Amino acid sequence: AQSVAQPEDQVNVAEGNPLTVKCTYSVSGNPYLFWYVQYPNRGLQFLLKYITGDNLVKGSYGFEAEFNKSQTSFHLKKPSALVSDSALYFCAVIHSGAGSYQLTFGKGTKLSVIP
C-alpha cells in the first residue's frame, strides 16, 4: 500500500529563516508525490508535485521540494519564511484504483512562522 509520513506535528521557524517540512514515502513502483497547504477553515491548495524528471521541484509561493529516492523523502522547503506561510501542510502520494487516481495524505504538519 502507498503511504506518506510526516514525522513532525508542528514546525516553528523565525520569519526570514529557511523552512523545511519533512515527508517520507512508502510506495510500490514509481512515486508520484504532492504537497498541499491549508489555511484555517479553508480547502487545500495545491503547491507542487513530483512525477518524474528533476529532483528539485519548484511550486507556488516560492516553495520547492526535493525528491530523494535513496532516502525515500520529499521534503518541502522555502529559503525565507513569511508570517503568511503559517498554515497546515500536507504531503500526499497518488495511487490507482477502479479507474481513478487517488491521493493518500499524510497527517499534516502545522507550520508557525514567528515574527
**Site for another protein (CB under 8 A): which residue of 43, 61, 72, 91?**
43
Site string for another protein, 13-32 (x = CB under 8 A): -------------------x
Residue 22's identity, in one-letter code, is K
Site string for another protein, 72-101 (x = CB under 8 A): ----------------x-x---x-xxxxxx
Residues that bind another protein (CB under 8 A): 32, 34, 36, 41-46, 49, 51, 88, 90, 94, 96-108
